[in-house]
Amino acid sequence: MNLIEKRLDETMAPWAMLHKDSGGRLYHQQPHEHRTCFQRDRDRIIHSKAFRRLGYKTQVFMNSAGDNYRTRLTHSLEVAQVARSAAQALNLNADYAEALALAHDLGHTPFGHAGQEALNHLMRDHGGFEHNRQSLRIVSSLETRYLEFHGLNLTRSTLKGMMKHAQVYECDPDLRPICQQRSQEQPGLEAALVDQCDRIAYVHHDLEDGLDARILNLDDLRGLDFWRTAWQDVLEQNPHTFQKVRSQVQIRSVIRYLMDHCIRDLQDTSSQNLRNLAIQNQADLKALKKSDYPVGYTSLMGERIRVMQDFLYQRLYRFPAVMQMSRRGARIIETLFGEYASLPALMPSHFQIRIAAFGLERVIADYISGMTDRFALHEYSRLTGHRML
């Protein structure tokens, strides 16, 4: 540990992820003089190719659909900002929370969840495909930035915090001891906080993007009690300006109001739960039953979020144009997988040489899942002679 880490450990809550408990790295490296171990993890994620490629991966709308819609990259940055602020409010390790948030979507395929479902189906006899496990594979194996090791060599605590489902692929044996440890305990507070901040960010921001795309409209939202209440609250707080601005500004003001209340509820409820449970340290936290875990919302806020998720599922995610776009993306992935399986030489040589170690299908999944929407479209056109979308 360096002096910065020691000082920070003295100021954080004892149930936070302390630097002294980072678990070190799979490949030993000397501590940095001016950065903590979790700041280094965060920085390595930001500088990775996988992180940059998120800028051209679908959140809800394909990158080509418009310049203002969110991508996996902007979503990850927004989650990181919310998670960092929430962690600071709870006196947790903000750098650790930020690193987990920035890494949480690294393993996503092109074309959103439809792409993951298609690839998981294609991999059903070869270990399956799941984006959380793929994120771990990226940071531990697929990224190539260092002479001494494959992957980013993140701390064991960051790897464990990324294990949302305590699962890794069979072809990643180095991660199994960490996975085994994670399966026997509750997640750290920062990891649980990131999971909820992800939820907060996507429901509010997908709502905004759906309205901008004119798939959702205000008449739909006025049928929701919480939207009517929030609209009236914002109007009463800004009686001289609210009615004078464009409707888009009104909508963003209401969404920002809703999101702020949601974040405050998460922070206040989690803080109160920690006091009620008399948590003293990490050991107390890890020993809790799942039903007693302190990170969460009031029942009223939890219900509101569930209503928003259901609304988005019915009105946005299942909207015909969105579903058609998703289905086309899935067909592209199915076609690419078949082409590479028939002739592996179509893949770059640095992927071909991994086939002996990991198997053809896993290497194809690594290659396709790392593609951006744009590159997958280009590959589809190159290999089939046809254009899609």
Tokens of 91: 């006196």
Tally of CA atoms within 13 A in the half-sphere of 370 that contains its CB:
19
Residue 71 three-state SS: strand
What's at 286, amino acid-wise? K
Q: Are 254 and 234 in contact (CB under 8 A)?
A: yes
What one-letter code names the amino acid at 254?
Answer: V
CA 147 to chain centroid: 28
- Closest by CA position to 250, among listed 303, 208, 202: 208
Strand, helix or coil for residue 202? helix
**Rg of the chain, C-alpha, whole Å:** 22
Q: How far apart are CA 286 and CA 160, in angstroms?
A: 13
Two tokens at 75? 């979503």
Distance between CA atoms of 285 and 191, rounded to whole angstroms?
A: 13
SS3 content of the chain, % helix, strand, coil (to 5): 65, 0, 30
Per DSSP, the residues of 259-293 read HHHHHHHHHHHHHHHHHHHT--SHHHHHTS-GGG-
* Contact between residue 125 and residue 337 where contact means Cβ atoms under 8 Å apart: no
pLDDT recorded at residue 115: 95
How many angstroms separate the CA atoms of 180 and 177, rounded?
5
What domains does the chain contain, in order, with CATH numbers?
Answer: 1-389 (1.10.3210.10)
Read off the pLDDT of residues 99-154 as tens digits, 9 standing for 90 and up.
Answer: 999 999 999 999 999 999 999 999 999 999 999 999 999 999 999 999 999 999 99
Give every residue of the chain whose pLDDT is below 70, as ranges: 62-66, 389
Q: What is the pLDDT of residues 198-232, one digit of tens each?
A: 999 999 999 999 999 999 999 989 999 999 999 99
Residues 298, 203: Cα–Cα separation, whole Å: 17
Give the pLDDT of residue 365.
Answer: 99
- Among candidate residues 306, 231, 309, 296, the one with its CA nearest the CA of residue 269: 296
Q: Residue holding tokens 């905004």?
A: 208
Q: What is the pLDDT of residue 167?
A: 87
Separation CA 116–CA 109 (nearest Å): 6
